[in-house]
Every structure is written in C-alpha cells, then in structure tokens.
Structure 1
C-alpha cells in the first residue's frame, strides 16, 4: 500500500515538473530582444527599384536571373551572389529602372519556381550606416 502511494506521489511530481518544463519552453523568452533585433524587426522597407531574391538554386546564374526578371521591365543589373569558391550563395539582387517595374516583378515572381526551386522576392533593404561603436569593433 505504501508502495502504491509513493508511486502515485512520484507520478504527480513528474507530471507537474513536465508541465513546468512545458510552460518554460512554450513561453516567450525571459530576456528582452536586443536593440539591434528590435530595430531590424521594426524596419519597414520602402519600395525601391532594387530587389532581393532568395531561395535560388545553386545552379542559377546571373544571366538566368536577368532572363527571367526582364519579362517585367528594364533590368539595370541582375547578380547572383557567389562565395570564394565560385558557388552560388542562394540569393541575388535585381535592379530595375523604375519602382513600378520592381513592384510588378515582386507580385509576379514571389513564391514562384525558378530552376526547380521556390524563390522569394522582396525590396532590398539598405545597409545601415556603421556607428562609432561598430567602427571601433571593426578596427580591433
């Protein structure tokens, strides 16, 4: 009888501790997000003529990107980014002559297949100016 009571108490304790663990893992982090993450999340991207294209097949070339995106307007530049070994990084940039052409391209190409892979197209984000603290960090 005492053995059953001890087993029942152990089961209740295990259940309550796993419930606490579940609460811990499913709740938001106890730490607030960093200022950089908050600023990046709040950054609204203004429409511009430059687009960021992600999810590219490793075999997609800049010429292929130019060919597909020139259907929607005059492409000034199309470039697939490559690493030091010459392999594609899986993303690239397309720049149109006008914002209207870029918007049309986003509406038409976002979520479509290119060379067998689903690509995502959005306005390119501008690179923030380095702060004094960032400059100091880069020097060391």
Structure 2
C-alpha cells in the first residue's frame, strides 16, 4: 500500500508542475491592472511591519509622500496590506519594479498601482422593494 502511494505521488506532482499549453487550470486569469498613478497598493505585509518601515523601504525609489498600513480597528495589528504614495509617476514605477515579489520583514510582498475607490452605490429609485424611513 505504501509503495503504491509513493509511485502515484510523482505523477500528481508532474501534473501540478506541468507547463503544457493545453492545461487551462495552470494559467489563472489575469487580474485587471489599474491605471498608472502615484499611489501604490502593497500586499503580503507582515504584522510586524510598521508605517515607518514601509516608508524607509520604499524611499529608496523616490520621494514618499505618504506610507500607511491598514490596521484592524480593535487589535491594532496590520491587516497585511497598505498604501505608498509617491511624488512622481517615475518613482512609483521604479518601486513596483524594485519591490514586487521581494522580501520585507521576512514576507514576500506584492506591489501594484492602487485602484481608485468606487463611490458607494445607492439603491435605484425605481426599486419598489426598498423604502426610506418608516412605513
């Protein structure tokens, strides 16, 4: 029984690491890219990473206007992502090239252009199921 499991494992690993162009499950769909801007989204951050560490690390690529890690309201721990805003588009582009996929505080981070916030959508006024106020 153990011998059979050992023989079957490499076949599964071959399928997992296969580079066949006919395998669609190995090519995940590309996420839509945001337009270039001076604001960068940084994900994969450690809970130990601070705003100051983020600012110091990214200042090697240009003038950092703002560096902020998003934190949990109650615990104060990092949620694992943050934003870095640069003074110029060139500095932001250099930071993406220089830091995307690199280590920060022992974790691999991912850097991309931040997508602009979408305004909240209100229910349409034609929706008869939605009522404002009391009935």
Assess same fold via TM > 0.5.
yes
Aligned: 1:58 with 2:50: no
Cα RMSD between the aligned structures?
2.4
Aligned: 1:87 with 2:77: yes
Q: Structure 2: which 5+ runs fail to align?
A: 1-30
Q: What's 2:37 paired with?
A: 48
Matches within 5 A, 1:10-89: 44-84=33-73, 85-89=75-79
Rounded Cα–Cα distance in structure 2 between residues aligned with 1:105 and 1:44: 16
* Displacement of 1:132: 2.8
TM-score normalized by the length of structure 1: 0.64
Q: Identify the structure with the greater helix proportion.
A: 1
Q: What's 1:11 paired with?
A: none
Q: Structure 1: which 5+ runs fail to align?
A: 1-40
Runs of 4+ in 1 over 3 A off after TM superposition: none
Secondary structure of 1:133's partner?
coil
TM-score normalized by the length of structure 2: 0.66
Larger Rg: 1
How many residues get paired? 98
Aligned: 1:106 with 2:96: yes
Rounded Cα–Cα distance in structure 2 between residues aligned with 1:103 and 1:76: 15
* Displacement of 1:131: 2.5
Rounded Cα–Cα distance in structure 1 between residues aligned with 2:111 and 2:100: 5
Residue deviations 1:80-134 (CA, integer Å, cap 9, x gap) = 1111121110100000001110000000000000010000000000111222328
Secondary structure of 1:125's partner?
coil
